[in-house]
């Protein structure tokens, strides 16, 4: 006779965690309380395997207005203005139901930003899928892009940038990370801490249903399994409802009608009420009978844990409730007073006059145990290798690299997004390394999001440092100085020693790089258990960064112009190790070259000042595919050929021709401009900083590097680089 599984295990709580709950409560929890604990003590909500590591990150700086712990971080951009931003994951929901998973990921990150009182002005996305020869990966990519476009376009927030990689370890567990940027008055933002005993707790927005029960909070806290049975757990989004909710909340905040505001995301009312009470040092009573429902017969625990979308929780003074309701009615947004702030320091769940749950806030929110990792470096490469190229000649290799889905133009995707709505966008996707958005009253901000899981898999510490440096380099290429960073740490099961080692080393790399660049981390997200029976994903820290620039008219571009002199700037010492070429050859393994962070930082500052001064019309950092790909991309975007002699660089750095052309690593920039300005740059910096290598012109790309030479037409390079759309023709309408 089989023994039934204890209820706490069914809800994802370990035996030791259940015993701790009983000890802290001094009694056994009832079923509703147990459901609340299962969500707030989940990995997604409690960060129980990562919180200790996150304490390493630098979080303070002279421009930081809001740091970790709020719905989003915020930095001062002068003139009484603030920029709020955050990145979050919606990985497992997107793997199960890609359209709604991606769409509600966008909706959730928008709410995090306008919960502060900031108007969302931009969305960026960082996506990972398996290889495109997989029908499933093509389906997921197609539907995720459609979901992002549907939500962002409908609500009127431009999608201005992002990145997409295709690698085998993401075949069964795609990654969908969304970043939002918003603008606010620096002194007008609101925090999420509940305050004022006797104040009303008001639920704003859509009615509550059973969609999303056990959604993000559960799906993101366990390894992903095959099957469709989890599809009902994926939330259903309505961007038009969110548009009304957003405008309503912004007006309520502008009129000073709200004491506090919190997004209802993972774990729904349980997390929002618990977190607001914990931050304010108060208690909250919630009456489930007063929660507007879209489905009859919902049990109290269903109301508490539902992750129905487009909802916010507000604290309102009783005397202002009528004003709040009037604003909501004008925006056709639901509003209901469902409880009140108390001095009990407990979350009480009522059903009319009956108390159906009563849990101390300190136990529910802060009582979850934090675990120490048990890291162990793996003995070798564990992700497999499969050669997909037989190219020998450098020209053939360049065409294959330009056509590789991870490097090829993502125009097929970003043309499905509205990148210019709101009329702020100065640099659209593909035109520059970072998105540029002008601000009212002068100046502009730039935004970038970056990460390369393959290189982090080769060396978690150095690969993460590279991701931070590349994000800062992308900002430099448009003339922007970093103000703050956010991150999304996507890893496998942290209870496994090799994943724990990756997470530990990566977090330390993130801390050290941000410290070296003096860039504070103002918020972020951790997504663990991204693996299946087939194995874990690549360790994938994604870095988002916001910077400022004084003159958007001088923002740099990727494209070269006819007659531009071309130079390579920075301490670039490329290696084929961990590169896209090594991947195509099936020759990946552990190890990356050492990183001279101080020299790379100096090169970043040099490029930034050159762009700001108007001396550099073209600036593009060297990343995936190496210097040859970077030069080709500058030529393609500019619509002009180029000739480059890399022999001086080969000699100076002691490189082979192949590593000079296709090797990767931080600290390299391709820059272009008038010959006098480029020659002055090269002479003033010296051989270690800038090398004049050629000139833009004609209709061919010709590059020589010692024993390696290549020549191809600009048209052939363009055709290879723009091949992604052709590969996606006939993408399947449903998962295989």
Give the catalytic positions in this structure.
44, 90
The percent helix, strand, coil of the chain (3-state, each to 5) is 40, 25, 40
Which of 171, 174, 53 minimizes the C-alpha distance to 125?
174
Bridge-based pairing of strands 618-621 and 565-569 is unpaired
Judge contact between 177 and 92, C-beta under 8 A: no
CB neighbour class for 394 (10 Å; exposed up to 12, middle 13-18, buried from 19):
buried
Distance CA 571, CA 109 (A): 37
Distance CA 59, CA 71 (A): 15
Q: Which two tokens stand for residue 155?
A: 């609500």
Which of 529, 366, 342, 548 minimizes the C-alpha distance to 445?
548
Q: Which residues contact 379 (CB under 8 A, 6 or more apart)?
A: none
Cα 493-494-495 angle, rounded to 5 deg: 90
Distance CA 147, CA 592 (A): 36
Distance CA 160, CA 448 (A): 9
Which of 459, 481, 456 minimizes the C-alpha distance to 471?
481
Judge contact between 405 and 140, C-beta under 8 A: no
Distance CA 488, CA 178 (A): 9
Long-range contacts made by residues 136-140, C-beta under 8 angstroms, separation at least 24?
A: 136/171, 136/735, 136/736, 137/166, 137/170, 137/171, 137/174, 138/728, 138/731, 138/732, 139/98, 139/731, 139/732, 139/733, 139/734, 139/735, 139/736, 140/94, 140/95, 140/98, 140/174, 140/735
Distance CA 280, CA 261 (A): 12
Distance CA 549, CA 555 (A): 8
Q: How far is CA 290 from CA 336, 338, 345, 350, in A?
A: 7, 5, 21, 10
- In DSSP terms, which residues pair with 713 in a beta bridge? 700
Cα 51-269-349 angle, rounded to 5 deg: 110
The 8-class DSSP code of residue 207 comes to P
Q: Which two tokens stand for residue 343?
A: 């001095």
């Amino acid at each position: 006779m089989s023994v039934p599984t204890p209820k706490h295990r069914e809800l994802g709580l370990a035996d030791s965690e259940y015993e701790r709950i009983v000890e802290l409560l001094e009694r056994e929890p009832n079923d509703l309380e147990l459901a609340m604990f299962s969500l707030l003590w989940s990995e997604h909500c409690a960060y129980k395997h990562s919180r200790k590591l996150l304490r390493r990150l630098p979080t303070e700086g002279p421009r930081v207005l809001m740091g970790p712990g709020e719905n989003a971080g915020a930095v001062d951009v002068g003139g009484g203005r603030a920029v709020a931003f955050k990145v979050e994951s919606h990985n497992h929901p997107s793997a199960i139901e890609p359209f709604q998973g991606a769409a509600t990921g966008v909706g959730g990150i928008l709410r995090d930003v306008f919960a502060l009182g900031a108007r969302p002005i931009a969305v960026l996305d960082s996506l990972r899928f398996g290889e495109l020869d997989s029908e499933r990966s093509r389906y997921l990519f197609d539907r995720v892009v459609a979901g992002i476009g549907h939500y962002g376009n409908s609500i009127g927030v431009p999608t201005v940038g992002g990145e997409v990689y295709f690698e085998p370890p993401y075949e069964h567990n795609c990654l969908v990370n969304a970043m939002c940027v918003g603008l606010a008055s620096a002194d007008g933002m609101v925090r999420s801490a509940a305050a004022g005993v006797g104040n009303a707790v008001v639920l704003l927005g859509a009615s509550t249903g059973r969609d999303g029960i056990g959604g993000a909070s559960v799906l993101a806290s366990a390894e992903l399994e095959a099957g469709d049975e989890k599809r009902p757990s994926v939330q259903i989004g309505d961007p038009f409802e969110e548009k009304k909710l957003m405008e309503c909340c912004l007006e309520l905040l502008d009129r000073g009608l709200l004491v506090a505001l919190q997004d209802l995301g993972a774990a729904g009312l349980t997390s929002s009420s618990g977190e607001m009470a914990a931050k304010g040092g108060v208690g909250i009573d919630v009456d489930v009978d007063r929660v507007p429902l879209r489905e009859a017969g919902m049990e109290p625990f269903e109301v508490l844990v539902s992750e129905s979308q487009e909802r916010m929780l507000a604290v309102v003074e009783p005397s202002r409730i009528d004003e709040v309701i009037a604003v909501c009615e004008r925006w056709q947004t639901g509003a209901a007073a469902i409880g009140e702030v108390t001095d009990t320091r407990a979350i009480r769940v009522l059903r009319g006059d009956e108390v159906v749950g009563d849990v101390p806030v300190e136990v529910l929110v802060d009582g979850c145990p934090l675990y120490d990792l048990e890291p162990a470096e793996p003995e070798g490469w564990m992700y497999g290798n499969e050669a997909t190229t037989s190219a020998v000649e450098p020209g053939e290799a360049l065409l294959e690299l330009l056509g590789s889905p991870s490097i090829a133009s993502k125009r097929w995707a970003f043309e499905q997004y509205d990148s210019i709505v709101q009329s702020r966008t100065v640099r659209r996707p593909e035109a520059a390394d970072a998105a540029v958005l002008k601000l009212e009253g002068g100046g502009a901000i730039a935004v970038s999001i970056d990460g390369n899981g393959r290189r982090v898999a080769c060396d978690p510490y150095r690969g993460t440092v590279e991701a931070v440096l590349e994000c800062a380099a992308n900002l430099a290429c448009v003339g922007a100085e970093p103000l703050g960073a956010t991150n999304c740490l996507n890893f496998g099961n942290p209870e496994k020693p090799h994943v724990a080692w990756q997470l530990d080393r990566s977090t330390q790399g993130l801390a050290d790089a941000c410290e070296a660049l003096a860039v504070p981390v103002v918020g972020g997200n951790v997504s663990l258990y991204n693996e299946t029976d087939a194995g874990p994903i690549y360790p994938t820290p994604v870095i988002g960064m916001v910077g400022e620039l004084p003159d958007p008219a001088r923002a740099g571009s990727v494209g070269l112009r006819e007659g531009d002199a071309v130079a390579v700037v920075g301490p670039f010492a490329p290696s084929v190790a961990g590169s896209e070429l090594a991947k195509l050859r099936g020759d990946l393994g552990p190890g990356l070259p050492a990183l001279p962070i101080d020299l790379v930082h100096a090169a970043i500052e040099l490029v930034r000042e050159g762009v700001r001064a108007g001396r550099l019309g073209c600036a593009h950092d060297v990343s995936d595919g190496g210097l040859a790909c970077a030069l080709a991309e500058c030529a393609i975007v500019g619509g002009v050929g180029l000739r480059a002699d890399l022999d001086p660089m080969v000699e100076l750095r002691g490189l082979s021709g192949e590593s000079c052309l296709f090797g990767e690593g931080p600290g390299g920039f391709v820059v272009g401009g008038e010959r006098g300005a480029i020659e002055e740059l090269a002479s003033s910096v010296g051989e270690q900083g800038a090398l004049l290598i050629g000139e833009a012109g004609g209709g061919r790309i010709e590059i020589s590097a010692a024993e390696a030479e290549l020549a191809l037409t600009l048209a052939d390079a363009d055709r290879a680089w723009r091949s992604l759309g052709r590969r996606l023709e006939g993408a399947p309408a449903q998962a295989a």
